[in-house]
Amino acid sequence: MDQPIRKTIRGIDVHYIKSNKFKTITWSFVFTHAPGTARINEKYFLSNILVDNMKKYPTFVKKYRYLSSLYGLDAFSNVMTIGANIVNQFVVTYPNEKYIDDDPTLSEKAFEFLNEVITNPKMRLGHLTHKVYKDSMDEAKQSFKIMKSIKDMYAYYRFSKLFYDDKPDLQYNFPDNDRLQEVTLDSLTDTYKSLFDSCQVSLYVTGNFEEARFDDIIQKKMSPLIKSNPVNIIYKSFPYNIEREPRIQKEFGEVSQARLFIGFLTDIGYFSDKHPALAVFNNIFGGFDQSKLFMDIREKSHLAYYVDSNYLSEENMIIVPIVCDFGKEDLVISKVKTALTEIIAGDFSDSLFEQAKNDALNAIESINDSQPIYLLQHIKNFQLFNQKYDLQERIQRYKGITRSDVIEAAKSLVLDTIYIHTKGGNGRG
C-alpha cells in the first residue's frame, strides 16, 4: 500500500489511499454526527433509504440498467459507531478504468452517481416520502420479531441491554426497538437534512488512480449541498473499575438449552500498544478450537455444547457466549473464571501461545487483502486519532508479542456482566 494522501477540496477532507493491489476503485463519503444517541433510529434508516430511494432512478429496473452500464458498479451504505459518534457511510465500487478500454469517464460517472444517492432522494412537499418512512418502521419491527424468535440472537440482545444499562452512550443498537415510537416522518426528514448542515464530512478514495484527475472530478462534480461542519469527535470512555461487582441477571423462557453471556471489561484501548496482546489472549482464552475454554469446558468436561470468546476491541470488551444443559450454569461460569486465572498464572503451553499468536497475525495481515476492510481501518484511525492506519507497524507489534504481554493483558480483565437465559417460569428472574 502507498502512503495515504490527505488534502482539502471544496472544504471537504479528502483521503487518497492509493494502491495497485486491487482492480477496483472505491469512493466513500463519511458523514459523522455529533456524539450521542439522539435520533438513533433515523440515522440507521437513512443508510437503507437513500440507496433505494433515488429520484433520478425511481425503479429498481432503471437503476439496475444504469449500474449495468457502469460495469456492475456496486452502491451501498451502512451505519456504524466510531468512538462515541454515529457515522453514515455511502460507498460506490467499480472496475478500474485502467482495465476498461471503451469508457474513460467511468470514475466521473461513478462519483456523480454517489452524489445522486446522497443528495437527490425522492421527496414530497419537502419531506421524504411516507412510503419510505412506513417501510423503514415495518422493517425494524419485523427485524425485532425475527430476532426474538432466534434464541441465541435474542439472548445476546438481552445481555447487551444489561451490559450497557449503566454505560449510557457507549453502545448503539440498530435499530433501537425501545425508541421506535419516537420516529416520525418529520424527525426522519430533519435527520436527513442534518447530513448537510450538522455533520462533519470526509471523502475516501482507494485504488490505483491519477491524483490530479480525481482532484478535478471532485472539484467539478461534488454536489454543492455536501458541506462539512465541525463536530466534536469523542473516543469512548469506559467505567473501568477493578473492584467492580458483576451485574448478574437470570431470565426464564421456553428454551431447549441454557444460554449464557459473560462480559469482561478491560482498560486496554482500541489501537493502543497493548491491543495486539489482548487479541492473542482472546485466542488462547476461547478464540479457536484449541483454546482453553473450548478444550476445558467442551472437550474435557463436556459441560457445554458451544463456548468461545470474542474480543470487541472498540468496546473494550471480551464476551464469552455459552450454550449448556440446564443446571450446569454455575459450574460453567466457575470454569470460565478458572481459565482466566490460569492464563494470568501463565498456565498455558508454548504451542498454544504460538498458535494463538500466528492466528492473530494472519488475521491482521489479511486486512491487506480486502479493500473495504483496509479502507475502514483508515477511516477509523483518521476519525479517532487524526492519523493514517499503518498496517506494517501493526503487524510488527503482533510479531513482537511475548507470553508476558499476554499475561499482563489478561490481568486487565474485570468481570462486568453475567446474563443467563434458562428454562423456567414465564417471567424474568
Q: Render pLDDT for 335-374 as a digit per residue (tens, 0 to 9).
A: 999 999 999 999 999 999 999 999 999 999 998 888 888 8
**What SS3 state is found at 160?**
helix
The confidence score (pLDDT) of residue 213 equals 96
Res. 274: pLDDT tops 80: yes
The confidence score (pLDDT) of residue 323 equals 95
Q: Which residues share a beta bridge with 26?
A: 93, 206
The confidence score (pLDDT) of residue 429 equals 40
Query: For 40-61, what is the mean pLDDT?
Result: 93
**What SS3 state is found at 165?**
coil
The confidence score (pLDDT) of residue 397 equals 92
Res. 426: pLDDT tops 70: no
The confidence score (pLDDT) of residue 270 equals 87
* Contact (Cβ atoms closer than 8 angstroms) between residue 372 and residue 244: no
239 pLDDT band, cuts 50/70/90, is: confident
Q: What's the predicted TM-score (pTM) here?
A: 0.91
Distance between CA atoms of residues 15 and 379, nearest Å: 9
The confidence score (pLDDT) of residue 428 equals 47
Q: Render pLDDT for 171-188 as a digit per residue (tens, 0 to 9).
A: 666 778 888 999 999 999
| Cβ contacts of 121 within 8 Å, gap of 6 or more | 49, 50, 53, 54, 55, 128, 192
Least confident of 266-270, 350-354, 385-389: 385-389
388 pLDDT band, cuts 50/70/90, is: confident
The confidence score (pLDDT) of residue 425 equals 59
Domains along the chain with CATH numbers? 5-221 (3.30.830.10), 247-423 (3.30.830.10)
Distance between CA atoms of residues 284 and 39, nearest Å: 40
Instruction: Give which of 77, 106, 108 is closest to 94, Cα–Cα.
Output: 106
Across the chain, what does the average pLDDT equal? 92
Query: For 369-398, what is the mean pLDDT?
Result: 88
State the DSSP code for 297.
I
Percent of the chain residues past pLDDT 70, beyond the cut: 97
Residue 117 CB-density burial (10 A; 0-12 exposed, 13-18 middle, 19+ buried): buried
Q: Render pLDDT for 10-43 as a digit per residue (tens, 0 to 9).
A: 999 999 999 888 899 999 999 999 998 889 999 9
Q: Where are the beta strands (DSSP E) in 44-197?
A: 74-82, 85-95, 123-124, 127-128
220 pLDDT band, cuts 50/70/90, is: very high
More confident: 389 or 1: 389
Q: Render pLDDT for 287-325 as a digit per residue (tens, 0 to 9).
A: 998 999 999 999 999 999 999 999 998 889 999 999 999
131 pLDDT band, cuts 50/70/90, is: very high
Distance between CA atoms of residues 117 and 253, nearest Å: 44
Q: Where are the beta strands (DSSP E) in 108-156?
A: 123-124, 127-128
Query: For 195-210, what is the mean pLDDT?
Result: 96
Percent of the chain residues past pLDDT 90, beyond the cut: 73
* Contact (Cβ atoms closer than 8 angstroms) between residue 278 and residue 412: yes
| Cβ contacts of 290 within 8 Å, gap of 6 or more | 352, 355
Query: For 269-286, what is the mean pLDDT?
Result: 94
Distance between CA atoms of residues 194 and 98, nearest Å: 37
Res. 427: pLDDT tops 50: no
List, as one string, the DSSP characters of 318-333: EEEEEEE-TT-HHHHH
184 C-beta neighbours (distance < 10 Å), count: 12
